Amino acid sequence: MKAHTKETQETITPSKALQFLQEGNQRFLNNLKLNRNLLEQVNDTRDGQFPFASILSCSDSRTSTELVFDQGLGDIFSVRLAGNIASEFAIGSLEFACKYLGSKIIVVLGHTQCGAVKGACDGFKDGNITNLLEQIHPAVEREEVTTENRTSKNLNFVQNVMHHNVEYQISKIYEISPLLAQMKAEGKIDIVGAIYDVATGEVKFKIEE
């Protein structure tokens, strides 16, 4: 499997990029992977990169996007931050990937058992972690179903907040980046949410209708 070139990347649509990711996760679930010569891909990408997808994911050591989507060197522009937070710097990275590197899709990837989400649910504070978790707090407030035991010990509450957090971080992308919002409106890219299950390895996409 060769690394993408500018020519092959230009043939990929946002829907095709999503399909590539879905198919890759299915291979991962079936313990299969495409045959890649990684050293050859190192050589193929030494003069440039043409990632077809950009993924904003958590820094959690269990959520390596290249592995769970069975992709090779140069395929994914990966932005990782605890809690998959759409910070100004993360969004700037996504803008660079889409406008200047040609990525066709942005995926905001949350995951089950997220420590950052649990910390936000508990109002945890310590050093710079405090400021980070504050970026997830709006998702905690959006969860209005749970009226009691709104802590990390309530797994249903954590799960609900995790879903809200993916949606909230996507809304931040639209709010902070007119550039990406315009690219989405013009059909040049898609922006979708997804959830990775650390217990099964499955990624479920939250597709806007």
pLDDT of 42 above 90: no
pLDDT digits (tens, 9 = 90+) for 5-39: 888 888 999 999 999 999 999 999 999 988 888 78
What is the predicted pLDDT for the residue at 204? 97
Confidence of residue 158 (pLDDT cuts 50, 70, 90): very high
Q: What does pLDDT average to over the chain?
A: 94
pLDDT of 190 above 60: yes
pLDDT of 3 above 80: no
Which numeric CATH code is attached to 6-206? 3.40.1050.10
In the chain, beta strands by DSSP E = 53-57, 76-80, 105-111, 190-196, 203-206
pTM of the full structure: 0.94
